[in-house]
Amino acid sequence: MYEKEIKGKNNTGDNMTKEKYEKVAKKHEVKIPKTKNAIIAFLSGGVIGLLGEGIIELLCLFTHISRNSASSIMIVIIIFIASLGTALGFFDKLVTKFKCGLLIPITGFAHSMTSAAIDYKNEGPIYGIGANIFKLAGSVILYGIVAAWIFGMIRYLLGGNI
């Protein structure tokens, strides 16, 4: 009965067509400063990369470990900083400011895990933290593994050695 009424006439009173709606929506759309965002992402991402290489070189300089173990320690340090920053709350503000500059490096991975775990902490250790810690990072792991398996099988069956 209600459906008929709605179909029969426009019960809101105005006759907004689709084109008209799009026009109005476009007028009020928030314009994204694309060039500025791209430059900010470049600079902030670059600083993270610079920090990573810098930590590796400092570790190699002051301790006698191989470059491989230095890279692992560097990744652990970066993840530690990102996790702690998210838990303390200031990393969220940095992410809204720098966006992809912090989301694409491994900092984004650590940030998504910590923020999901902290947000669902109230729901308990199993259905809260345990079930939600991989909420956002899970897709990265899932598609990474599926893709690596498919490409790995192809590469292996073609007889390639790495």
Partner 1 sequence: MLLLNSFIFCGIVCMIAQIILDNTKLTPGHITSSFVVLGAFLDSFSLYDKIIKIVGGGALLPITSFGHSLIHGALAKANEYGIIGILMGMFDLTATGITAAIIFSFIFTLVFKSQN
Residue 124 lies near partner 1 (rule: CB under 8 A): no
Give min distance, CB of 124 to partner 1, in A.
12
Question: Which of 1, 6, 119, 127 lies at the binding interface for partner 1 (CB under 8 A)?
Answer: 119
> Any contact of residue 84 with partner 1 (CB under 8 A)?
yes
Rounded Cα distance between 31 and 75, Å, is 36
Other CB atoms within 10 A of residue 126 CB: 8
Interface characters, 18-47, with partner 1 (x: CB under 8 A): --------------x-x--xxxxxxxxxxx
Q: Among residues 22 and 119, whose Cβ is nearest to partner 1? A: 119
Sign of the alpha-carbon torsion through 51, 57, 88, 137: positive
Q: Does 57 bind partner 1 (CB under 8 A)?
A: yes
d(CA 82, CA 106): 9
For partner 1, the closer of residues 40 and 94 by Cβ is 40
CA-based radius of gyration for the chain = 24
| 161: DSSP letter | -
Q: Which of 9, 88, 96, 126 binds partner 1 (CB under 8 A)?
A: 88
